[in-house]
Amino acid sequence: MSFFADLAYQYIDGRWCVGSGSWDIIDFNPYNQEKLASITVAGVEEVDRAYRAAERAQRDWAATNPYSRRLVFERVLRIVDEREEEIAEAIVAELGGTRLKAAYEVHLAKEFLREAIQQALRPEGRILPSPVDGKENRVYRLPVGVIGVISPFNFPFLVTLKSVAPALALGNAVVIKPNQNTPVVGGGLIAKIFEDAGLPAGLLNVLITDIAEIGDALIEHPVPKVISFAGSDKVGRHVAAVCAGHFKRVILELSGNSALIVLDDADIDYAVDAAVFSRFVYQGQVCMAANRILVDRRVEREFTEKFVAKVKTLRTGDPADPDVQIGPLINAFQAEALTALVEQALAEGAEALVRGRTEGNLVEPTVLAGLPAHSALHAQEIFGPVVLLVPFDGDEEAVRLANDTPYGLSGAVHTGNVERGARVAQRVETGMIHINDGTVHDEPLIAFGGEKYSGLGRLNGDSTVEAFTTQKWISIQHGRTSFPF
């Protein structure tokens, strides 16, 4: 199957169709600028059609025996297994992800699909006691109805499935709006897999469009009860504000500015390996990536020498080449913005221990040290292969520096004493933090989400069940109630 020829369409109510919008999204390979597809955007009419189709289909789906629902996800998993190589190739082509990144994304997506199979049976009702004699309280956990999923470009296959699969397994219907940089991997490809697995028409819809065409129609529409958004905190703030005005629940997975902390008793060689991966995986275009490497001054020299030496071994180039670790940024705008950020840091007094070149969308790694403490770059997300090395004196200063940012998504602490590491980790204001490991992790059973500007709510495991279901209280009075009048 040629994914980019066959799946570059809207998918509404089980039909592949052309959008009615006024312009086309051009899907490019970010490495060689090859045109992969041209897709006419969906308009407000398609938004309404998709949500109404989902609303109709969801009623019967919610009433379907969950043992029958989970059969669909077993078939989805088999299809992903069978097409794994094709899916990985599509990730390389559309995202500029390296072979290693593509393999990791597909592997983790399969783990989440395995969890979705179990989640079909996860919701449990309860019978709770009452202070009223003869009253029986039943609390049912029910699907919310229809969920809107807005996914990012960096892990579109994985992150989209993280919401879509459990939402469907729990009895909901879904409308996906993939990022316009990844309309096939984050949209059409997922729809095709579920279609081939036998998911009834209307339960999963894909709208390839943009706010420039539809405004806030996707999140203002009266049908969806939950919006699951992954992307920047700037857009996430807008999504949250609009949803609040319409009494919609939101799950937000937003930007990060993670710190990887190297204490004075750390295994330096191991910490270097973890830091290089944590910063440069998928060109640093990862919300959990370690923007800042905080190093105790007592080991700063040794760590810096080894870190710089390892960074210099990284190869930048064609992501299809298995020997390349750094592929292209997603588009020219991101490459130019990152290059300008490096220039800003150098103008403020930072020193480039490694200075990468920019050629088109390819940006080689840059390692910056000595950035003045007052620089705003310490507090912001750097979405690319640029890293800040920051020294500290003792655990107290490490915690202070780690927390000196409006974000709090992930982090890591390296130490020879895991209890010391745990004490430091508990004080870092972040939703997730890992001792003696990297900053980039996701697991199907563990609550995933951030603090501060890094998000709202959690996904994975029981958190996903909570996000995509609601509770309903039904009481039964056995006997007669005595009313006061």
Question: What's the angle, vertex CA 478, arms to CA 475 and CA 482, rounded to 5?
Answer: 90
> Which entry of 46, 105, 213, 253 is annotated as an active-site residue?
253
CA dist., res. 268 & res. 271, Å (int): 5
**E strands in 78-180:** 126-128, 135-143, 146-150, 173-177
In residues, how long is the chain? 485
Starting at the earlier edge strand, list the strands of the sheet with 126-128.
Answer: 126-128, 135-143, 469-477
Asked if 466 is an active-site residue, the reply is no
Report the candidate in 67, 37, 161 with the shortest Cα–Cα distance to residue 106.
Answer: 161
Neighbouring-strand partners of residue 473: 139
Instruction: For residue 134, give both structure tokens.
Output: 């003869």
**In the chain, helix, strand, coil percent, each to 5?**
40, 20, 35
CA dist., res. 73 & res. 63, Å (int): 17
Asked if 359 is an active-site residue, the reply is no
Per-residue DSSP letters for 155-207?
A: SHHHHHHHHHHHHHHTT-EEEEE--TTSTIIIIIHHHHHHHHTTPPTTSEEE-
CA dist., res. 423 & res. 174, Å (int): 41
Give the pairing of strands 362-363 and 358-359: antiparallel
> Which entry of 213, 243, 287, 364 is annotated as an active-site residue?
287
Give the pairing of strands 366-369 and 351-354: antiparallel
Q: Is 66 helix (H, G, I), strand (E, B) or coil?
A: helix
Alpha helices in 348-407 (DSSP H): 394-403
**E strands in 221-380:** 226-230, 249-253, 258-262, 290-296, 351-354, 358-359, 362-363, 366-369
- Annotated catalytic residues are 253, 287
